Structure 1
Amino acid sequence: MKHRTSAGVAALAVSVALALTACSSDDGASDAPSESPSSTAATDAPTPTAEDVTALEAVEVSGDAGAEPELVFEAPLEVSVPTSRVVDEGDGAELVAGNQVTMEFVAYQGDGTRLGSSWENGTPETFLLGDAQYDLLTQPLEGQKVGTRILLANPSADAEGNPATVLNLVEITDTQEVPSRAEGEAVEPAEGLPTVTLGENGEPSVEIPEGYEAPGELVVQTLIKGDGPEVTEEQSVIAHYTGWTLDGQVFDSSWERGSPTSFSLQMVIPGWTQGIAGQTVGSQVLLVIPSDLAYGEQGTPDGSIPPNSPLVFVVDILGAS
């Protein structure tokens, strides 16, 4: 799904996660579509210098696990590339790529300013380990265990766009396996809608009926009814999905990338927010989204979705938090 993000924000939850991964928007506007999550982070992380390692080793972590710690360091703290350090090793379940991981975190600017924390807001962050949005967490966390605490310093930018380092203390509190596809009771769709066919692995394909006209309002058709909890629009979800323009052309697919993705329902197009909220975890949903609830008159900056394009999605809702 093409997210709507804002560059350089310091608000918590999703925005601190974006600081962790150095995601950025295309134009700095909070309502502008950004690139697909798979393209937001490099797979091969650069190697920290000796100076980077020394700078992070000098950070003192005061406080026990399970509560927000205080980070004490000499400002300005600067690193040239993302740099991590294990503060405490966990003794819980192993963290495996593809699993849902829940973390608490506190974030500081390199000048010593505390940006805030999930402990303060009561909103731990849940993400998919290995998801490109959280790419900088994959290397230091994969193979660790629940209970691990790590420091992660990342060169980023402040609210004015000036170079700045963001320092995070991340504590892993839980991990769970994520199903590979929607599971539940099949639902007979209404007549006249795009026809969905599933491959052996659950990957969907769509046939658009000849002469099908874009609806004036959002169409939400449950195809598989899961038995999990109901999703609310304030939550983040883990989903497998494919999106088509109305001529049947695929423009985005987590299936093609090989793994589900996670995102906040507050950071996507309105058609997703409205269409996914109220569904249950485990469900598969067909969405036919009019252009005014998608990318409207502007389309997407990369041209993959032209202006005034209605969209079709098939979404497997695999988790929510």
Structure 2
Amino acid sequence: MIKKLSLYTLALLGGLVLFNSCKKEYETIETLDDRTIAEYIKNNNLTNVKDTLGYHYQIITPGAGAQLLNSDSVYYTYDFKHTDGRSIIKNGDYQIPGTFLGYTDRFGFLTIPSVRFTLSKLKRGGTARVIVPSRLAFGKNGNTTLGVGSNEVIVIELALLAESKQHQIDNLLINKFVAANKLQTTVDPGKRVQYIVSNVGTGKEDLKTTSTVKVKYTGRLLNGTVFDSSTDGVEFKLDEVIRGWTETLPGKVGVGGKIRLLIPSDLAYGSKAQTDISGNVSIPANSSLDFDIEIVSITNK
């Protein structure tokens, strides 16, 4: 009986040692997170940093207007960074995600509630910074695809845009694109497609909404990615393509004419993403588009 009791006691003691070892390891990671965060705050001279629910946040600019609800639609930007300032992943230069405020913590690679909690403290136009301990971010496994190491603290810079509608975001991004590329564009009264005619061609009055046209074209996202092109020419009725073409081309160019169109997403493919023949997304949802178009022929019946 004494021998059996001793073995039982040893097994129990072994379990307690293992439990305490795991507990100590967790506390060590927590302590390391806290130390890294404290050093980051000190080294970057951050003020008004608040600690809540295990993460830290800093309101940089509070924004303006009414307090937002989780059911409100918002557009925001994000930039995940290492504590040394190197960017890990951010929304594209010409892609601004829009969703309900309550869903702003959902990313394809991770759900981070602290992002939603922090954005909920802002009003439109506000900016903030979130400092996320490793245990609430990518944990001990990190993320090799994104280049995030084991038990790494992550900093996320956030901006809640003042715009609340997709057409406002489209106009914002197209204007940003025009300015960045120093383009001289024209916009017809009451319209939103911006265009540049580099060659009028002949017979521009022949190009009507109901015309059948043969064109050469290249279509790009605003980030420069080519999603489609035709160098040999393709023929179609002008009233059967996207509205940005149908509503803008008539009367602008004739045969041999060349025009560039910058088209807001609602006059292109809207909120429906487009896929290529392999099933891969070629045009993300709510993408404004950049087209170079050359008119090869015009047919009117």
Work out whether the TM-score is over 0.5: no
More helix as a share of residues: 2
TM-score range (shorter-chain normalised) is: 0.3 to 0.5
Of structures 1 and 2, the one with the larger relative CO (CA 8 A, separation 6+) is 1
Compare CA radii of gyration and give the structure with the larger one.
2
TM-score (norm 1): 0.33
